[in-house]
Amino acid sequence: MARSVTVKVATAKVIKALEDKIANNVKVEASNEKKREAYKVAQDKYFKTVLKEFKDSLVIDSISKHSWRNSLSVNYEIVGGATLPDEPEIEKLESELGQYEINEINNAIRILKMTDEEFVSTSTFKNIAQYL
């Protein structure tokens, strides 16, 4: 049977770690947004290149109109043995915190700032450790 670990962590250190996690999440969200935007630009360029350079090798296979979402899907068939270039891939995204997790961390910070205890109890630390 495994033994439980008992540690004493200063409340100020826990608050700092949680605040750092929130601050880091803002950076991660900004970084991921840049990656998504770069991917969108690369994807748009790819689509335009394929339609322009391979227009003689593409034949419309089917068209589907989706009036409920105001969109049109066009499927092309590649003829004449043309080989399309590889589609761009999105750069690996870092894991972002969800709104629920952000709320939980902010709640924990507020509660920890109200305590007079020098150290965080093991049960409290266990509940917030997943966010650190």
Q: What is the pLDDT of residue 22?
A: 97
Asked whether residue 114 is domain-assigned, the answer is yes
Asked whether residue 115 is domain-assigned, the answer is yes
* Number of domains composing the chain: 1
pLDDT tens digits for range 8-61: 888 999 999 999 999 999 999 999 999 999 999 999 999 999 889 888 888 888
High-pLDDT (> 90) share of the chain, %: 54
Q: What is the pLDDT of residue 1?
A: 57
CB 22 within 8 A of CB 106: yes
> Does the pLDDT of residue 90 top 90, yes or no?
yes
> Does the pLDDT of residue 3 top 90, yes or no?
no
Question: Containing domain of residue 122, as a range?
Answer: 9-131
Asked whether residue 63 is domain-assigned, the answer is yes
Asked whether residue 77 is domain-assigned, the answer is yes
Query: What's the predicted TM-score (pTM) here?
Result: 0.75
Q: What is the pLDDT of residue 127?
A: 85
What's the mean pLDDT when you consider all of the chain?
90
Distances (CA, A) of 24 to 2, 30, 36, 80: 33, 10, 18, 51
- CA 58, 62, 63 angle in degrees (round to 5)? 110
Between 82 and 35, name the one with better pLDDT: 35
